[in-house]
Amino acid sequence: MTEPNQVAGVLAPDGRAVLPDGDRAAPGPQESPWDIEAIRAQFPILSREVHGRPLVYLDNAASSQQPHRVLSRVERYLREQHANVHRGAHQLSAEATEAYEDARRAVAAHVGATNPAEIVFTRGTTEAVNLVASSWGGAFVSPGDEILLTKMEHHSNLVPWQLLAGRTGCVLRFVDVTPEGTLDLEDFDRLLARQPRLVAFTHVSNSLGTINPVREIVARAHAAGALTLVDGAQAAPHLLSDVSRIGCDFYAFSGHKMCGPTGVGALWARRELLEEMPPYQGGGEMISEVRLEGSSWAKPPHKFEAGTPNISGVVGFGEAARFLAELGAEAIESHEAALKRYALERLGDIDGLRLYGPRQERTSVFSFTYGDVHPHDLSTILDQWGIAIRAGHHCNQPLMGHYGISGTARASFYLYNSTDEIDALCDGLALAAEVFGGIS
């Protein structure tokens, strides 16, 4: 029988959400201006209905929605500026190139990168991790070397390293996860003593909502002689993710989770590492000179951007970064902290609901099981009431196995969600309980 009311999350005495490394979010929206209706009005999809009911979109950890200004910027590029970038001498190519590189500057600023040339555009977090595993890993990892991961990694930060292990004979090791949903830092130190070549870990768990203490982990890894890669897919949209403050060597993130288009993301890496790494793919744009006998490479980041890029996606990504910058990271964190407090209170009143994740340092991702109801059945019923959640293993099958389950339901909130939508979720869960004749 599922344990009732097992709910995570606490707040500091001043009512602010506890963040990693002792930081705290700004006061909640009730203490600072946040016009939720004005915010929501900027997202056209939020005005639609699903099955005759207002859409309640709570699947933001999978993909967020896009505001008018991002959609309009992409449309303006396609209507007025579309051309290939970097090599054209005509006006349209010059405008497309400026739009593309202006997006690089905006995305760099979003993660606190002082040098835009340290931003490599990719198809998303997945390709960014694959780039590091293939390029850096192929060049600098040898048989017997160890790569240290964690048991809470998304498949995107696991499978590329498995492929590298198959190619090179390196060994993968995994930091354990506590029953509360945090990394076991004692186990981490034990594995660090083995002197791994790289520590790759998630900033925020996409299933548990856990905010890992990134600066502490990076500092310990560097002290042990390891490089660090941080999967920032779930952090970059929600937290002030400053790579210079974190101190990592690689940081990967996606546009579609932070109000941008799908199919575009970025890898930030220290310039000296990008200089040392061989190309990821070959073709146009990434070369300096091509001869029949061999070729030389362009300087980073272009060395890693072979072929015609996803120009419209990058332009939209840049506009999304500017949109978030204008809202302000502290204001976004503050609003989400209030949602988190309210969701914890409401979900905590539901008998038979078990919420997975830590009691501190979490984001507004809520994975849960509800009695014996299968997550897919729960999601299907909620969908009939216009409520969109995610159900399944969330590309976290090893983590699900760690908890002895096949999957969870997951509701994830973002800057345009409201407490009314949390109420709608809880009402939907009550209706689901009626459909299944009660929860046990």
As a whole number of angstroms, the distance between CA 275 and CA 298 comes to 10
CB atoms within 10 A of CB 186: 11
Residues 378, 384, 385: CA angle, nearest 5 degrees: 95
As a whole number of angstroms, the distance between CA 240 and CA 111 comes to 8
Tokens 């096949």: give the residue: 406
As a dihedral over the C-alpha atoms of residue 19, residue 22, residue 28, residue 31, rounded to 10 degrees, the angle is: -170
Q: What values do phi and psi take at 257, rounded to 5?
A: -95, -5
Contacts of 13 (CB under 8 A, 6+ apart): none
CB atoms within 10 A of CB 342: 17
The DSSP secondary-structure symbol of 373 reads B
Strand, helix or coil for residue 367: strand
Q: Is 47 exposed, middle or buried (0-12, 13-18, 19+ CB in 10 A)?
A: exposed
Per-residue tokens: 275: 């200089």
Asked whether the beta carbons of 306 and 280 are under 8 A apart, the reply is: yes
* Nearest C-alpha neighbor of 54 from the set 431, 421, 364: 421
Give per-residue burial for 409-434: e unless 16+ CB within 10 Å, then b: bbbbbbbbbbbebbebbbebbeebbe
Asked whether the beta carbons of 310 and 264 are under 8 A apart, the reply is: yes
Give per-residue burial for 225-237: e unless 16+ CB within 10 Å, then b: ebbbbbbbbbbbb
Query: Between helices 68-76 and 311-327, what is the axis angle to 10°?
Result: 150
DSSP string, 122-183: ESSHHHHHHHIIIIIHHHH--TT-EEEEETT--GGGTHHHHHHHHHH--EEEEE-B-TTSSB
Q: What values do phi and psi take at 46, rounded to 5?
A: -70, -10
Which residues are the active-site residues?
A: 395
